[in-house]
Structure 1
């Protein structure tokens, strides 16, 4: 029985398969990242419009930390297929803590340096500026940093046999 990855790859046009197989780690990382981006957005907006109305940086930080835990599990088990090590977890969360700061910096800049907040701007402008600076720009910068740092320092070992290109190849009958 083919794995979910093999079934998904079987639906991809042949001309794209070599690229996806060659960059499988990046593709998986981006899929995990997309999932965590949606999770971060939902938590951030939920917190901003309820209990943390006047603390947008705290809301984004909490949302990012929750998504980081989910990201660790998904990246460790699927994207990088790393062997279990305590050092790996410590490095992951150290890199992720730095990435949270990278993620928050554009929002801090937007809110408190550029003063894109009420009463200087309309509530709609404030929310658009928050979303663009925190969720789009911040997440993009943090994603680039995370991929580079995770590949370089955290998930440096390969997983069990068979976790290389074979797990992306469609099953041959």
Structure 2
């Protein structure tokens, strides 16, 4: 049992049911939080040193490194019960989707720097705050929403679960018809001498 599974086992039943219903989203968010720290540490290490005037490039570099870590964490933990594709297809799709996510994460910074030129005449403290809000709050919201949808649909499709889906049960109307048929088989035909009586 993993640490997370043990933690869930000690939670109230209502919370446990909710967590189990959305377990992939919760695990994906935990992976996202871990790679967020990796991403932010690399980004600020670059922008506060030799890439001070190149925040978009720094954002792309940090995003690529975080994406590599994200692949292994998502594959081996968050989406480990999914699959259906060959490993090389899965990896290609993951990195294509994540590459689009990196572009989405860098888009707010690109707009702010190239269309509004916000870096001129701004203090270092203000730049750190602006980069954090645009690159790590707004940018990550955009890319995480896209990646969660796209990874589940394309990279880690739940094909096995679809193949093993149970055959639907009879509808209520069909059950009533079956019951009527069974009753008719067990009930003797009425005659002109009196009402029909069911035989036990």
- TM-score for the superposition, normalised by structure 2: 0.74
RMSD of Structure 2 on Structure 1 (CA): 1.8
Number of residue pairs matched?
A: 158
* Aligned mates of 1:67, 1:137 — CA distance in 2: 17
Preserved contact between residue 95 and residue 146 of structure 1 (Cα < 8 Å): yes
Task: Find the aligned partners of 1:11 and 1:64 in 2 and give their Cα distance.
Answer: 35
1:1-173, aligned counterparts within 5 Å? 2-81=1-80, 82-83=82-83, 85-119=87-121, 121-157=122-158
Unpaired segments of 5 or more residues in structure 1? 160-173
Counterpart for residue 169 of structure 1: none
- The answer as to whether partners of 1:111 and 1:130 remain within 8 angstroms in 2 is no
Contact 2:63 2:102 in 1 (8 A): yes
Deviation track 1:75-130 (CA, whole Å, cap 9, x = no partner) reads 000001145611000000000111111010001111221221123x3333222111
Tell me the alpha carbon deviations over residues 29-63 of structure 1, each in whole angstroms, 9 at most, x when there is no partner.
00000111111111111111123122111111111
Q: Gapped runs of 5+ residues in structure 2?
A: 161-200
Partner of 1:163: none
Q: Which runs of 4+ in 1 moved over 3 A?
A: none
* TM-score of the superposed pair, with normalisation by structure 1: 0.85
Tell me which of the two structures has the higher relative contact order, counting C-alpha pairs closer than 8 angstroms and 6 or more residues apart: 1
Aligned partners of 2:5, 2:58: CA distance in 1, in Å?
A: 38
**2:35/2:66 contact within 8 Å kept:** yes
Q: How much has 1:137 moved relative to structure 2?
A: 0.4
Answer whether contact 2:152 2:158 (CA < 8 A) is retained: no
Verify the 8 A CA contact 1:110 1:129 in the aligned structure 2: no
- For the Cα contact (< 8 Å) 1:92–1:150, is it kept in 2? yes
Indicate the structure (1 or 2) with the bigger Cα radius of gyration: 2
Instruction: Determine the C-alpha separation between the residues in 2 that align with 1:133 and 1:18.
Output: 35
Q: Mean Cα displacement is larger for which, 134-143 or 122-131? A: 122-131
d(CA) in 2 for partners of 1:53, 1:158: 46
